[in-house]
């Protein structure tokens, strides 16, 4: 099948925007992807014609809105192959999903002397919650180190996992280096060593690769809707039901209760609603469901194949620019590339590209341990998505060559 890039680009209205009379080239999808009309229309239709509180009323509008929310829950369960629909928890995003596990499971089941293993390539969202938990619960954090090629030194894994390791938290793909970690092999290895639980940060992986949580045998999997062409403010925590059943709520209020009394002890709702206190982001949930539909209509396999070719092309052509330093492996990466151009600051490169209408990410990418490892303060990052094309990559390279000459002179 020939990938329908022209049709896909027409589906994303933001791509018609001009900056300084230049047609927008959006290379910042790893930070947040653009939204297709299909998603925008579904959210707008809810606000216009279907708006009502969910799980709150017996009237038609409330029941219909509630049905839509629960249909999306089933859709997400199918999309990542969860065993049960109840294993899908709606959150604000990846960050909240990780914090939910840290504060609910971690505070309940961790004891002084236990340890958690993470890696040196994690996003801050998969570092700081565990650091705070370690201080509170008097546990230890151990780290799998990076290698110069941007992969993890997995030979250290058997040395780090021990009988006191309660959780292993790892990103499926680095938001800086693009590295795709061999998650299934890693999880198998961890499970063979101990009964350690595994949490996978899928924020960067979910839009680029197929996810099967049963095949992975992970205990928790988190991702954000806005990374996968859906709205902001909505995300998913997948957890094995037996774990969710024994975890206490971390946020309290409406919807998450079965009974409240001023005399007797409050009893909590069943999973998943036990973890969804208050009014949910109904429009965001509906938008996320629409994003899943949109992806499946194009075909995830088609998107993966196209992005793989596009990324290889971008890597090869960028690598020909004088003074460029590309970080991370050449192969087995998702469609993002971080680089620096000579000794020029990433902010300077990003600002100059912006004058030509090219949007990239610059800075420490919320991954300061990676910056420290490579002894840089910041990097430039381009991230490609289903709507980018070869012309845009050629334009980027032309402008980078021009910028390089300007800054040298």
Q: What residues are paired with 338 via a beta bridge? A: 327, 381
Distance of CA 170 to the CA centre of its chain: 12
Active site residue 366: yes
If one counts every other C-beta atom within 10 angstroms of the C-beta of residue 51, the result is 12
CA separation for the pair 186, 181 (Å, rounded): 8
**CA pair distance 158, 152, nearest whole angstrom:** 13
CA distance 10 to 401: 29
d(CA 266, CA 277) in angstroms, rounded, equals: 14
Query: What is the distance between the alpha carbons of residues 160 and 331, in angstroms, rounded to a whole number?
Result: 27
The residue to which tokens 């390791």 are assigned: 165
Under a CB-based contact definition with an 8 Å cutoff, are residues 120 and 245 in contact?
A: no
Contact 202, 265 (CB under 8 A): no
User: Strand 140-144 to strand 165-171: parallel, antiparallel, or no bridges (unpaired)?
Assistant: unpaired
Helix extents (H) in 148-266: 157-160, 183-193, 213-216, 241-246
Residue partners of 53: CB distance under 8 A and separation at least 6: 62, 65, 279
Choice among 111, 218, 366, 380 that is catalytic: 366
Query: What is the rounded CA–CA span in Å between residue 227 and residue 94?
Result: 10
d(CA 290, CA 292): 5
Please choose, from the candidates 283, 282, 337, 287, the residue with its C-alpha nearest in 3D space to the C-alpha of residue 310.
337
Note whether 196 and 168 are within 8 A (CB): yes
* Distance of alpha carbon 233 from alpha carbon 230, whole angstroms: 9
3-class DSSP assignment, residue 334: coil
Task: Name every residue whose Cβ is closer than 8 Å to that of residue 359 and which is 6 or more positions away in sequence.
Answer: 24, 25, 26, 27, 28, 353
Burial class, 192, CB count within 10 angstroms (exposed 0-12 / middle 13-18 / buried 19+): exposed
Residues assigned a catalytic role: 366
């Amino acid at each position: 099948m020939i990938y329908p890039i022209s049709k896909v680009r027409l589906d994303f209205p933001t791509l018609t925007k001009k900056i300084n009379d230049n047609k927008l080239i959006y290379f910042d999808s790893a930070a947040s992807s653009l939204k297709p009309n299909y998603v925008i229309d579904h959210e707008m239709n809810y606000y216009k014609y279907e708006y009502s509180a969910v799980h709150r009323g017996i009237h038609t509008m409330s029941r219909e809105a509630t049905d839509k929310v629960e249909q999306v829950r089933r859709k997400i369960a199918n999309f990542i192959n969860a065993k049960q629909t109840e294993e899908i928890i709606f959150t604000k995003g990846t960050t909240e999903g990780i914090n939910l596990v840290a504060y609910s499971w971690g505070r309940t089941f961790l004891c002084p002397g236990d340890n958690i293993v993470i890696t040196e390539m994690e996003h801050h969202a998969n570092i700081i919650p565990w650091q705070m938990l370690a201080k509170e619960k008097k546990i230890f954090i151990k780290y799998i180190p990076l290698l110069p090629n941007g992969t993890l030194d997995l030979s250290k894994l058997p040395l780090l996992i021990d009988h006191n390791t309660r959780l292993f938290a790892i990103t499926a793909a680095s938001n800086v280096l693009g590295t795709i970690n061999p998650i299934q092999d890693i999880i198998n290895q961890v499970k063979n060593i101990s009964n350690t639980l595994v949490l996978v940060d899928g924020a960067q992986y979910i839009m680029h690769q197929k996810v099967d949580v049963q095949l992975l045998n992970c205990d928790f999997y988190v991702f954000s809707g806005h990374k996968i062409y859906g709205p902001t403010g909505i995300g998913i925590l997948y957890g094995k039901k037996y774990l969710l059943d024994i975890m206490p709520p971390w946020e309290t209020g409406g919807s998450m209760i079965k009974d409240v009394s001023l005399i007797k002890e409050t009893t909590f709702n069943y999973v998943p609603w036990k973890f969804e206190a208050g009014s949910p982001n109904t429009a965001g949930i509906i938008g996320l469901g629409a994003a899943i539909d949109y992806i499946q209509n194009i075909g995830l396999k088609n998107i993966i194949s196209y992005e793989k070719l596009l990324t290889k092309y971008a890597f090869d052509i960028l690598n020909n620019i004088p003074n460029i330093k590309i970080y991370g492996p050449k192969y087995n990466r998702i469609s993002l590339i971080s680089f620096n151009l000579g000794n020029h600051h990433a902010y300077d490169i990003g600002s100059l590209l912006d004058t030509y209408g090219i949007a990239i990410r610059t800075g420490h990418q919320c991954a300061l341990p990676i910056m420290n490892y490579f002894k840089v303060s910041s990097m430039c990052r381009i991230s490609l998505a289903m709507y980018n094309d070869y012309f845009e990559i050629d334009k980027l390279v032309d402008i980078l060559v021009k910028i390089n000459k300007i800054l040298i002179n």
